[in-house]
């Protein structure tokens, strides 16, 4: 593993596949021009609309999202995480799928989101992800990359389930991906603290690309795409506007924190 720059992209995705992919390409280009070798896109990067619209367009969204990720990785010669897009299971359900692609356009890892966001929030919004999404049944993988480190996948709501990240740490993860479309209501209280907790307890870098702003109707995301170091320090924050959070992933820092705070070695229950 070497030192390199990673980017957590922040988007305001809409119920419009073509516009979203144009926005994503512009932000990938911005990240690469700033030196990023690992670029991460948020959950729902290619489409964020009503559930019925998503299901109706799921086949096209899945095909174009995968093609887009492979094309961008090859064009810019970077590793890209597509943080979540619908892949059809049958006629009325999809998997919320994260995809990791290398600079040659090869698929490195695929993860189907396990924890689904079925919540009634005090602000009056109700979310039923399970109405259109089928939960994955397998723990996320850790992909071992010689230049980039050991990369652990997750998606959004997973961040509330620390046992998933402990599994990734047990499998040797150095970097935890948390691509998200965190709601504005929950994000203001929980987003940052949950990300910092996952970084601290697993002594890992956390890279969390995010959605921000108004997508449609009452759907609004919190923003604050972040990169957090293994000590829990926020080393990049995109704020509330679309853009890119960029920071160095440094193996020396990783080793230093793990030496100073060897909590992974002190685990009693696995």
Q: What is the pLDDT of residue 103?
A: 98
With residues binned 3-state (H G I as helix, E B as strand, rest as coil), the percentages for the chain, rounded to 5, are 35, 30, 35
Residue spans of the domains in the chain: they are 4-264
CA distance 43 to 191: 14
Q: What is the pLDDT of residue 122?
A: 86
pLDDT tens string 39-97: 999 999 999 999 999 999 999 999 999 999 999 999 999 999 999 999 999 879 999 99
Provide the residue-wise pLDDT of the chain in tens; the chain has 270 residues: 999 999 999 999 999 999 999 999 999 999 999 999 999 999 999 999 999 999 999 999 999 999 999 999 999 999 999 999 999 998 799 999 999 999 999 999 999 999 999 999 887 788 999 999 999 999 998 999 999 999 999 999 999 999 999 999 999 999 999 999 999 999 999 999 999 999 999 999 999 999 999 999 878 999 999 999 999 999 999 999 999 999 999 999 999 999 999 999 999 987
CB 165 within 8 A of CB 176: yes
Q: What is the pLDDT of residue 154?
A: 98
Tell me the DSSP string of 85-141. Answer: EEEESSSS-EEEEEEEE-TTS-EEEEEE--S--EEE-TTS-EEEGGGTBPPP-SPPP
Alpha-carbon dihedral of residues 54, 59, 63, 68, nearest 10 degrees?
A: -20
Q: What is the pLDDT of residue 237?
A: 98
Q: What is the pLDDT of residue 270?
A: 72
CA distance 148 to 144: 8
Alpha-carbon dihedral of residues 190, 156, 221, 51, nearest 10 degrees?
A: -140
Q: What is the pLDDT of residue 175?
A: 98
Fold for the domain defined by 4-264: Nitrilase/N-carbamoyl-D-aminoacid amidohydrolase (3.60.110)
Active site residues: 43, 113, 156
């Amino acid at each position: 593993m070497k030192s390199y720059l990673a980017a957590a992209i922040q988007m305001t995705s809409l119920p419009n596949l073509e516009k979203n992919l144009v926005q994503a390409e512009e932000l990938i280009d911005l990240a690469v021009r700033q030196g990023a070798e690992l670029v991460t896109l948020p959950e729902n990067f290619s489409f964020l609309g009503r559930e019925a619209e998503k299901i109706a367009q799921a086949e096209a969204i899945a095909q174009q999202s995968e093609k887009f990720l492979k094309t961008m990785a090859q064009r810019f010669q970077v590793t890209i995480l597509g943080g979540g897009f619908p892949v059809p299971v049958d006629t009325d359900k999809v998997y919320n799928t994260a995809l990791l692609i290398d600079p040659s356009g090869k698929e490195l890892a695929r993860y189907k989101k396990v924890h689904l966001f079925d919540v009634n929030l005090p602000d009056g919004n109700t979310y039923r992800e399970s109405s259109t999404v089928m939960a994955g049944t397998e723990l996320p993988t850790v992909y071992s990359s010689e230049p980039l480190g050991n990369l652990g996948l997750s998606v959004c709501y997973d961040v509330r389930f620390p046992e998933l990240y402990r599994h990734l740490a047990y499998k040797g993860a150095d970097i935890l991906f948390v691509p998200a479309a965190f709601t504005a209501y929950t994000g203001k209280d929980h987003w940052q603290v949950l990300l910092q907790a996952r970084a601290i307890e697993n002594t890992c870098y956390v890279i969390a690309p995010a959605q921000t702003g108004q997508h449609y109707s009452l759907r609004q995301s919190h923003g604050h795409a972040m990169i957090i170091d293994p000590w829990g320090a926020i080393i990049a924050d995109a704020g509330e506007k679309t853009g890119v959070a960029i920071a160095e992933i440094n193996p020396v820092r990783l080793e230093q924190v793990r030496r100073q705070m060897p909590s992974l070695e002190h685990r009693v229950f696995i």
